[in-house]
Amino acid sequence: QSALTQPASVSGSPGQSITISCTGTSSDVGAYNYVAWYQQHPGKVPKLMIYDVNNRPSGVSNRFSGSKSGNTASLTISGLQAEDEADYYCASYTTSSTIVFGGGTKVTVL
């Protein structure tokens, strides 16, 4: 099972919106609505930001939203803030009953 494909880096200015893509196949992202997004600050434990494509856990800012089209999922961060600077990982359930992560995207706030 190959890792999901994410851009290595995405950047934006404070207040802007950015979108991170996560491309898989019909055997993972395209097969189920089980896509999650995690935020990880340096030296910290990953934090769940989105689950089941577009659901936010309690306590996560509504500036974070998720979507999916075909084999590609996306995470959008609106009203970008300095605290959003972190690594972001997508993950998907697969038809082999395994989990696959994306390679990660470094978000930089300019």
Partner 1 sequence: EVQLVESGGGLVQPGRSLKLSCAASGFTFSDHNMDWVRQAPGKGLEWVGRIRKKSDSYTTGYAASVKGRFTISRDDSRNSLYLQMNSLKIEDTAVYYCVVLGPFGYWGQGTLVTVSS
Place of tokens 């939203």: 65
Q: Does 3 bind partner 1 (CB under 8 A)?
A: yes
Q: Does 91 bind partner 1 (CB under 8 A)?
A: yes
Considering the complex, what minimum distance in angstroms separates the CB of residue 90 from partner 1? Answer: 10
On whether the CB atoms of residues 99 and 91 are closer than 8 A, the answer is yes
Q: Does 70 bind partner 1 (CB under 8 A)?
A: no
Q: Does 41 bind partner 1 (CB under 8 A)?
A: no
Considering the complex, what minimum distance in angstroms separates the CB of residue 57 from partner 1? Answer: 6
Instruction: Give me the amino acid identity at 25.
Output: T
